[in-house]
Amino acid sequence: MAPRILLARHGQTAWSLSGRHTGRTDVPLLDEGRRGAKLLGERLHREPWSGLRDAEIRTSPLLRASDTCELAGFGGRAREWDALMEFDYGAYEGMTPAEIQAVRPGWFIWRDGVPDGESLAEVAARADEVVEWARSADRDVLVFAHGHILRAIGARWLGEDISFASRIRLAPTSLSVLDWAYGAPAIDIWNDTGHLAK
């Protein structure tokens, strides 16, 4: 069986709740985010996942992702990986889209990028590194990371330009699965938050 990659976005933070671009700032999880991480872990430890006993697990080193990984019950098996860090938003770190639009009307991150931060090409290269690693594995992989980098990984898994990431949104503590269909890369599950309905 060809390997799949499971994508877990970190739990809710004060900045994700308010829509602020949270790149490298180490914002902690809210209580809601901690609860969501535990519920995600419960889901992944039940059938059909059964704790993903044979999966290789990696996490962004940023606390909101690594804490989500830990609370979900995978911290002892996970390896931190800088490739999974969020987009470096440079001058736009901590700003909301509305605040950015006020100084740069018409701005669109997936087309225009950010000043003094990471370029779209650099984000795409990191996403490609994750996709290559996942596809070369002989087993499923699970990653805990952030909204924009996970969306970039989704786009690149499908062979799309990074701008495609604008069309596949992700909620905090969501679960997504990138798989194969008819021998081609496919999305099996995307932005599933059913475990949060408890």
3-state secondary structure the chain: CCCCEEEEECCCEHHHHHCCCCCCCCCCECHHHHHHHHHHHHHHHCCCCHHHCCCEEEECCCHHHHHHHHHCCCHHHEEECHHHCCCCCHHHCCCCHHHHHHHCCCCCHHHHCCCCCCCHHHHHHHHHHHHHHHHHCCCCEEEEECHHHHHHHHHHHCCCCHHHHHHCCCCCCCEEEEEEECCEEEEEEEEECHHHHC
* Active-site entry in 21, 56, 86, 195: 86
| 86 catalytic residue (yes or no) | yes
Which residues participate in the annotated binding site? 22-23, 64
* Active-site entry in 10, 21, 148, 195: 10
Which active-site residues does the annotation give? 10, 86
